[in-house]
Amino acid sequence: MTLAKDVDLMAYEAILFDLDGVLTATARVHSACWKKMFDEFLRANADETDTPFVPFDRGADYLTYVDGKPRMEGVQSFLESRGIHLPFGTHDDPPEMRTVCGLGNRKNELFRELLSVEGADVFEGSVTLARRLRQAEKKMAVVSSSKNCMAILEVAGLKDLFDYFLDGNEAQRLQLAGKPQPDTFLKAAEMLGVAPQRAVVVEDAISGVQAGRAGNFGLVIGVDRHGTPQDLLDNGADIVVGDLAEFL
């Protein structure tokens, strides 16, 4: 197995970081908001259909159906796993509307409330590495499916480290497919003026390492935040670390 000490990040021109779970520790807040939103819906749905209420699992359900995906895709993926089919709706559906977008917007409402109260924790090893790469004049981007990306970076004080940001809002504007498709990473590399083979993708989600591999990037780093390093390796990571500080 490849070790961090055997990898020279300075040999690459650009580093493309995912946000949640890689730079910032907001996965706990996200999963709590997903659970609250889905449990509210599932409990009401169970009452209406006279079926048992089976709550959202912050472990298995979050990692399998939601983690790393654009918000509306995450909603739809989880609902389909339960055999529930709602109209997709539109992205400006109010949070109380029983559509995929309405549920997604309810989750976002909960997240913004929590973010304003609790702020955004960062992974110090990741930030230290990003600062080291910035000092070495490497090109860097944040590539996240989150539409709250810029707000999180502002709260965390990390915005000045990066040259380019491709978040969920920009992906929607450019009509780019979300992870596990490679489109967002490829666009970020293009905007930095770097060929994919000369760039590194850093991800903690299975869908993210799949996207890095599908885009034929020079190096795909998996960051194991869930105790499942083999899953990241099996889905496209060249190397898996527990903390990006291992590259220091």
Tell me, what CATH number does 130's domain have? 3.40.50.1000
Nearest to 126 by CA among 140, 112, 147: 140
Q: Examine the pLDDT at 146 and tell me if it is beyond 80.
A: yes
Q: Look at residues 118, 136, 156 and tell me which one is the last residue of a structural domain.
A: 118
Active site residue 20: yes
Going 103 to 104 to 108 to 114, the CA torsion angle's sign is: positive
- Does residue 147 share a domain with residue 233? yes
- Cα 78-81-82 angle, rounded to 5 deg: 95
Q: Which of 20, 61, 67, 238 does the annotation list as catalytic? A: 20
Q: Which of 18, 67, 93, 183 does the annotation list as catalytic? A: 18
- Does residue 128 share a domain with residue 98? no
- Does residue 131 share a domain with residue 219? yes
Residue 9 banded pLDDT, cuts 50, 70, 90? very high
Number of domains in the chain: 2
Q: Examine the pLDDT at 224 and tell me if it is beyond 80.
A: yes
CA distance 221 to 5: 13
Residue 24 φ/ψ, nearest 5 degrees: -120, 150
Residue 242 banded pLDDT, cuts 50, 70, 90? very high
Going 154 to 157 to 163 to 165, the CA torsion angle's sign is: negative
CA distance 89 to 12: 42
- Does residue 78 share a domain with residue 47? yes
- Does residue 9 share a domain with residue 77? no
Provide mean pLDDT across the span 97-107.
97
Active site residue 93: no
Q: Look at residues 98, 118, 138 and tell me which one is the last residue of a structural domain.
A: 118
Lowest mean pLDDT among 20-24, 145-149, 232-236: 145-149
What lies within 8 Å, CB to CB, of 214 at 6+ separation is 180, 181, 182, 236
pTM of the predicted protein model = 0.79
- Does residue 204 share a domain with residue 106? no
Q: Examine the pLDDT at 1 and tell me if it is beyond 80.
A: no
Q: Look at residues 50, 84, 118 and tell me which one is the last residue of a structural domain.
A: 118
- What percent of the chain is modeled with pLDDT above 90? 85
Provide mean pLDDT across the span 37-59.
96
Q: Examine the pLDDT at 13 and tell me if it is beyond 80.
A: yes
Q: Which domain holds residue 210?
A: 4-26+121-247
- Does residue 103 share a domain with residue 41? yes
Provide mean pLDDT across the span 172-190.
96
Nearest to 111 by CA among 148, 79, 75: 148
- Does residue 234 share a domain with residue 131? yes
- Does residue 220 share a domain with residue 136? yes
DSSP H/E element including 236: none
User: Taking the mean position of all CA atoms in its chain, how far away is CA 128?
Assistant: 20
Provide mean pLDDT across the span 234-245.
97
- Does residue 111 share a domain with residue 35? yes
